[in-house]
């Protein structure tokens, strides 16, 4: 059985979704009925297979009834970050061709602004008391399946770390609506997800990985515990309370949990965890070592993108024997290419390309699609890395983040990984800033654990710390301090915003 509708028929009272803070629970029976009502509502409004619906919601109990309603009615769903500005959301609505926007009362001020900028996109909003009240509209819909059920898909937008976000569009699946997709099969076979698993979801649901992994759990029949907002100690409490055995994380979650006082971490029983899947950013080696020491060899790492063009993974044992790797290719071949497009020797760095049957395009941007495509038809996410003699892939950084100082290529990720292991550092970003002699200089922007310690003494301490493990060319020529870095809730750092700021005004003080 590989769809919530089947689990609803067999075990309608089993929890499909539990909200972590409120405890609100949606059973499989309720999830099936409500997703049917969503699909019926789409058809009543003239939405057909292949049409686009946008949802902009916080981690809300009705998020997955909506997504499953889209999935079973052949809708292309665009999940939009609720943290974006009205202008940014408006751009995505227009670019995607959305024919409907679904949101919540929490985001009503933004929705009101979007009415003016997108008058042709109707709105349905949970919790409002006007004609847009989706609760009342759904209550009037049949809770039985629509006549033309078909597998839908998502079109998610890049988070815009290097410019305007681009929609990543793939063809609608040519399978039955209740067929298990590739991610669901992978979750089951590679990561040990199963029909009775308890999955902890700590990240925003509009992001590709949390949305897709939660839906994979629902397809298999497990229960998902949805955190409304991540808090490191609350995550530990939930693991113990619900005996969570699987979950999907990003490195910043691990960093924040590891920086809890040791007595706090020791209070909670982590023995239920069997599969802690992580991705989204390279993880510093000491952080992963510490997590394996704490939770055991239950960490599974993967490297992939929303584009779905390739998948690389490793378990804890293979990582321990190849520290720093993101793993071996699963459904693709990996090619490392130089600037000339030719493959480089084993051990040398270059742009990572995937050769796989999974194709994608950037919506309304053939130029970007072409830039991501090799002459041989391979495709790239824009990352730089290398493979070793055993075929294991190692990530270096985003190509666009590379710093060229005096003709030397410097990748910020290695410096950031070292900084984050310092006890006095809560977060760190490394960028290239303008330099009259070298072209660019290495600048570290650090979020201290205690902002009161920001200043020259801490900068000197961090510089000395970095010199223990990094060559002189990689040592920041400038260390600035911020109370908070512009990091996406999914863990991705908006490094472009920092870099643009430094290049916009070369003389402005950067200590805030």
pLDDT band at 162 (very low <50, low <70, confident <90, very high): very low
- Using the predicted structure, report yes or no on whether residue 396 has a pLDDT greater than 90: no
Judge if 340 and 396 occupy the same domain: yes
Which domain CATH number covers 446?
Answer: 3.30.300.30
Judge if 113 and 167 occupy the same domain: yes
pLDDT for 407: 65
- Residue 310 class from Cβ within 10 Å (0-12 exposed, 13-18 middle, 19+ buried)? buried
Judge if 138 and 151 occupy the same domain: yes
226-253 average pLDDT score: 96
pLDDT for 507: 42
Residue ranges making up the domain that contains 457: 403-504
Domain boundary among 118, 147, 173: 173
pLDDT for 489: 63
Domain boundary among 134, 152, 173: 173
Which domain CATH number covers 47?
Answer: 3.40.50.980
Q: How many domains, in total, are found in the chain?
A: 3
Measuring CA to CA, which residue among 260, 324, 319 is closest to residue 294?
260
Domain boundary among 136, 157, 173: 173
Judge if 80 and 129 occupy the same domain: yes
Judge if 374 and 466 occupy the same domain: no
DSSP for 51-109, please give it.
-EEEE--SS-TTHHHHHHHHHTBT-EEEE--TTS-HHHHHHHHHHHT-S-EEEEGGGHH
Q: What is the pLDDT of residues 493-506, one digit of tens each?
A: 777 788 888 888 55
pTM of the predicted structure, to 2 decimals: 0.82
Judge if 72 and 100 occupy the same domain: yes
Q: Tell me the C-alpha distance between 288 and 244, whole Å.
A: 20
Residue 296 within a domain? no
pLDDT for 488: 66
Which domain CATH number covers 366?
Answer: 2.30.38.10
Judge if 167 and 52 occupy the same domain: yes
Judge if 45 and 98 occupy the same domain: yes
Judge if 418 and 457 occupy the same domain: yes
pLDDT for 163: 56
Judge if 169 and 30 occupy the same domain: yes
Residue 164 within a domain? yes
Judge if 34 and 115 occupy the same domain: yes
Number of Cβ within a 10 Å radius of residue 507 = 4
Residue 213 within a domain? no
Q: Which residues contact 170 (CB under 8 A, 6 or more apart)?
A: 153, 155, 308, 358, 359, 360
Q: How far is CA 479 from the centre of its chain?
A: 28
pLDDT band at 490 (very low <50, low <70, confident <90, very high): low
Judge if 393 and 436 occupy the same domain: no
């Amino acid at each position: 059985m590989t769809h919530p509708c089947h689990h609803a028929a067999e075990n309608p009272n089993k929890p499909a979704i539990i909200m972590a803070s409120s405890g609100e629970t949606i059973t499989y029976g309720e999830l099936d009925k409500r997703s049917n009502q969503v699909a019926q509502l789409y058809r009543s409004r003239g939405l057909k297979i292949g049409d686009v619906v946008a949802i902009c919601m916080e981690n809300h109990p009705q998020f997955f009834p909506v997504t499953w309603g889209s999935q079973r009615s052949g809708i292309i769903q665009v999940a939009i970050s609720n943290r974006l500005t009205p202008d940014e959301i408006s751009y995505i609505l227009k670019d995607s061709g959305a024919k409907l926007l679904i949101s919540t009362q929490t985001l009503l001020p933004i929705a009101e602004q979007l009415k003016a900028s997108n008058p042709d996109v109707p709105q349905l909003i949970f919790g409002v008391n006007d004609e847009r009240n989706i609760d009342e509209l759904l209550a009037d819909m049949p809770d039985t399946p629509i006549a033309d059920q078909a597998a839908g898909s998502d079109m998610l937008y890049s988070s815009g770390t290097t410019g305007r976000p681009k929609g990543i569009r793939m063809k609608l699946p040519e399978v039955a609506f209740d067929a298990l997709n590739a991610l669901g099969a992978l979750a089951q076979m590679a990561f040990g997800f199963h029909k009775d698993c308890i999955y902890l979801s700590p990240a925003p649901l509009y992001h590709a990985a949390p949305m897709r992994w939660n839906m994979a759990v629902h397809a298999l029949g497990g229960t998902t515990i949805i955190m409304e907002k991540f808090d490191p100690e609350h995550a530990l409490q939930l693991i113990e309370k619900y005996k969570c055995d699987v979950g999907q994380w990003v490195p910043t979650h691990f960093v924040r949990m590891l920086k809890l006082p040791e007595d706090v971490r020791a209070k909670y029983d982590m023995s239920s965890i069997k599969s802690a899947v992580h991705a989204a950013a390279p993880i510093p080696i000491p952080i992963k070592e510490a997590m394996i020491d704490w939770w055991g060899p239950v960490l599974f790492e993967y490297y992939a993108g929303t584009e779905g063009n390739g998948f690389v993974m490793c378990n804890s044992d293979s990582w321990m024997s190849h520290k720093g790797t993101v793993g071996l290719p699963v459904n693709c071949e990996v090619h490392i290419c130089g600037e000339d497009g030719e493959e480089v020797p084993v051990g040398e760095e270059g742009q990572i390309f995937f050769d796989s049957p999974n194709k994608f395009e950037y919506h309304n941007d053939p130029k970007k699609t072409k830039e991501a495509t090799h002459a041989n038809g391979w495709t790239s996410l824009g990352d730089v890395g290398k493979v070793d003699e055993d075929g294991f892939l190692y990530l270096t950084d985003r190509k666009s983040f590379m710093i060229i100082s005096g003709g030397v290529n410097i990748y910020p990720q290695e410096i950031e990984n070292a900084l984050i292991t310092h006890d006095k550092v809560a977060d760190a970003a490394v960028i290239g800033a303008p330099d009259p002699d070298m072209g660019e200089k290495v600048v570290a922007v650090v979020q201290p654990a205690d902002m009161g310690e920001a200043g020259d003494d801490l900068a000197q301490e961090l510089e000395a710390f970095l010199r223990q493990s990094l060559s002189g060319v990689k040592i920041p020529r400038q260390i600035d301090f911020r109370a908070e870095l512009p990091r996406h809730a999914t863990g991705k750092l908006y490094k472009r915003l920092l870099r643009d700021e430094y290049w916009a005004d070369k003389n402005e003080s950067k200590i805030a």
